[in-house]
Amino acid sequence: VNALFRSFNMSKFPVERIRNFSIIAHIDHGKSTLADRLLELTGAIATTDKNKQVLDKLQVERERGITVKAQTASLFYKYQGQTYLLNLIDTPGHVDFSYEVSRSISACQGVLLIVDANQGIQAQTVANFYLAFEAQLTIIPVINKIDLKNADPERVEKQIEKVFDIPTEECIRISAKLGTNVEQVLQEVVKRLPPPTFKKEDPFKALVFDSNFDHYRGVVANIALFGGYLSKGDRIISAYLGKSYEVNELVVYKQTLVVAGVTDFYPECACWHLSPGMYPMDQSDYSALRSAVEKLTLNDSSVTVQRDSSLALGAGWRLGFLGLLHMEVFNQRLEQEYNASVIVTAPTVPYKAILSSAKLIKHGKEEITIVNPAQFPDRSVVKEYLEPMVMGTIITPDDYIGKIMSICLNRRAVQKNMVYIDDHRVMMKYLFPLNEIVVDFYDLLKSMSSGYASFDYEDAGYQPAHVIKMDILLNGKPVEELTTIVHKDRAYSAGKAMCERLQDAIPRQMFEIAVQAAIGSKVIARETIKAYKKNVLAKCYGGDITRKMKLLKKQAEGKKKMRYIGTVQVPKDAFINVLKRKDK
């Protein structure tokens, strides 16, 4: 294999012996483990017990035990006397990283759909199947973990046939951990998947499906070729921006797909669901943080970036993420890879406001998108507010239907469908307001179902809603970074819950802190953080009571003065924790 890579000439390799495919599945169904076995079988890496999630290269992936970035690998496989080039892409399984899956699928002709033999079809399995189905890709179902004690591959095959209309005989039963039947997967990839449909005589046409920043090469773009050919020194033009680039280097690695070195790249962004503010801990670090964000967004183009500023935190950005885990992973990568120290404010979802005709000139358009809650327009200039909706898919054992229906109802969800996919598992469809699920719904669902339920969602447009802006005041001063948009019917309970969580999150000071939630000028909830108090009477062993009263009065006046001139320090994790709530 090493000799093949050293002598490999892409320009002379027959197109009909190339296979491009992705590995897709629900989280923890064994995608990365299968990728390890494929790399071992084809000789790309040595066979050893230390090969665990070889393609999970990021520190955050190792720490969390999940895949957050789609990783590519090129493999040579000999079948019936012919050498085939297999370009595989290992994709994430979590719903927050579904954009990585859709980008990877666009560069492939087929997919391996992995399903756990114990858990069966889950929500993300369904979502990923339809991504591949709508892209008209060849789908090879693979039932993994058949070595488990409670594995039931026959039941899973029936689920696949019922939900996806794929015959049971097309399923491949494997154990990626033990390597059982993995060789058959490679054979089926060669036999079932079609080669790329392009001719070298056609004009050059390629898709950049991933990119990253290399400290030695600069910007490195992963491309899928759809026509023509490419050589070092060629100039290529971006169809998106119309800019021209020079190809500095073309490489095929054992663990990297064909890579073209270009000088700059701006991909089209995904539709984000969550928008927090991000600011440097020290404004002197602004330039360094800007450079770090630019390099990291090059590797994760689903993140949108917009300049923002705050009176309290200074200059920063308003970022767009696909979910809370996506946001946490991005922040963790900033800290680990670039040593950046940031403050992240409470995230919000993108609301819309339809303006009344008398105010159109000021904004220049009838409909505006509200990214920052502090810029929420007054009701007097708005005809109606719109909130984003999503269609959620929940797959759960039928023992937990009652509990799950209860939490969905509590999140203002509307049930659209419910079907049994086998004797004991149910697939439910709910229409959710996006704001009700992005922060903590997934954790709550797992808790209510003992970890057995799975959840996925897709955009479902906007609907009219009675939403209002709720301010948080600390000692009477509004904290712009904690301002949120809430549904009118939930304002009181949401305000009370946020005040209680802030009371727990903000450490006690030398002065009393009043935590208030307000709508306009009306305070709807309040909690008080008591001040540290020194015992000023300790030195008084007797004497007249007026002496003690005088000392207590003097202390109270000092505390009152500190309350007006003191600065309340809010921990940076409080901005996220205040949004999480416990449903009963």
Using one digit for the tens of pLDDT, what is the confidence trace for 351-369? 998 887 654 555 556 788 8
Q: Which residue has the higher pLDDT, 324 or 421?
A: 421
Structure tokens at 179: 């390597």
pTM above 0.85, yes or no: no
182-192 and 31-41 helices, crossing angle to 10°: 80
pLDDT above 90 for 381: no
Q: How confident is the model at residue 482 (pLDDT cuts 50, 70, 90)?
A: confident
Res. 260 pLDDT band, cuts 50 70 90: very low
User: Of 569 and 456, which is predicted with more confidence?
Assistant: 456
Do strands 18-25 and 110-116 pair parallel, antiparallel, or not at all (unpaired)? parallel
Whose tokens are 């759809």? That residue is 226
Binding residues for GTP: 25-32, 90-94, 144-147
**277-344 in CATH: which number?**
3.30.70.870
Percent of the chain whose pLDDT exceeds 90: 23
The ranges assigned to domains in the chain are 2-192, 205-260, 277-344, 351-465, 469-577
Q: If DSSP codes are grouped into helix, strand and coil, which group holds residue 558?
A: helix
**Residue 13, by phi and psi: left (phi above 0), alpha (psi -120 to 50) or beta?**
beta
Cα angle, residue 390 at apex, residues 385 and 391 outer, rounded to 5° = 140
Architecture of domain 351-465: 2-Layer Sandwich (3.30)
Phi, psi of 152 (to 5 degrees): -140, 75
The pLDDT, as a whole number, for residue 267 is 41
Q: What is the pLDDT of residue 254?
A: 45
Q: Which residue has the tokens 């000092």?
A: 558
Banded pLDDT at 572 (limits 50, 70, 90): low
What is the helix (H) or strand (E) element at residue 25, kind and residue range?
A: strand 18-25
Note the pLDDT tens digit of each residue in 196-235: 887 777 888 888 877 777 777 777 888 888 888 888 888 8
Return the CATH number of the domain spanning residue range 2-192.
Answer: 3.40.50.300
- At residue 54, the pLDDT reads 54
Residue 132 has pLDDT above 80, yes or no: yes
Say whether pLDDT at 128 is over 70: yes
Please say if the pLDDT value at position 307 is more than 50.
Answer: yes
- Banded model confidence at residue 558, pLDDT cuts 50, 70, 90: low
Measured between its terminal Cα atoms, the distance across the chain in Å is 58
pLDDT band, residue 156 (cuts 50/70/90): very high
Question: How many percent of the chain have pLDDT more than 70?
Answer: 81
Residue among 474, 475, 472, 441 nearest 456 (CA): 441
Residue 348, classified by CB atoms within 10 Å of its CB into exposed (0-12), middle (13-18) or buried (19+), is buried
Residue 110 has pLDDT above 90, yes or no: yes
Query: Which H or E run includes 406?
Result: helix 401-410
Report the pLDDT value the prediction gives residue 232, as an integer from 0 to 100. 81
Weakest-pLDDT range from 15-19, 313-317, 407-411, 538-542: 538-542
**pLDDT at residue 173 greater than cutoff 80:** yes
277-344 matches 351-465 in fold: yes
Scanning 139-249, the segments in alpha helix (DSSP H) are 153-164, 182-192
Answer with the residue of higher pLDDT: 151 or 582: 151
Q: How confident is the model at residue 65 (pLDDT cuts 50, 70, 90)?
A: low
pLDDT at 526 over 90: yes
Mean of pLDDT over the chain: 81
What distance lies between CA 316 and its chain's CA centroid? 21
Q: What is the pLDDT of residue 117?
A: 93
Per DSSP (E only), the strands in 127-231 are 138-144, 172-173, 205-214, 218-227
* C-alpha dist (Å) from residue 219 to 222, 231, 234, 278, 299: 10, 17, 16, 24, 9
**pLDDT recorded at residue 87:** 87
Amino acid at 488: K
| 488 or 71, greater pLDDT | 488
Rounded CA gap, 109 and 139, in Å?
A: 9
Q: Confidence class of residue 578 from pLDDT cuts 50, 70 and 90?
A: low
Per-residue CA distances from 56 to 33, 214, 224, 293, 338 (Å): 10, 17, 21, 21, 19
Q: Please give the CATH topology (third level) of the domain spanning 469-577.
A: Alpha-Beta Plaits (3.30.70)
Residue range 89-108, pLDDT digits in tens: 878 767 667 777 888 888 88
**Whole-angstrom Cα distance, residue 183 to residue 223?**
27
pLDDT for 59: 64
Cβ neighbours for 138, distance < 8 A, ≥ 6 positions apart: 109, 110, 111, 192, 193, 194
List, as residue ranges, the binding site.
Answer: 25-32, 90-94, 144-147
Q: Give the model confidence (pLDDT) of 176-189 as tens digits.
A: 989 899 999 999 99
CA dist., res. 322 & res. 318, Å (int) = 14
335 pLDDT more than 60: yes
Q: Kindly tell me the number of DSSP H helices and DSSP E strands found in the chain.
A: 15, 27
Phi-psi region of 397 (alpha: psi -120 to 50; beta: other; left: phi over 0): beta
**Architecture in CATH of 205-260:** Beta Barrel (2.40)
Give the integer Cα–Cα distance in Å for 355 and 545.
65
Distance of alpha carbon 308 from the chain centroid: 22
Residues 268-277 have a mean pLDDT of 67
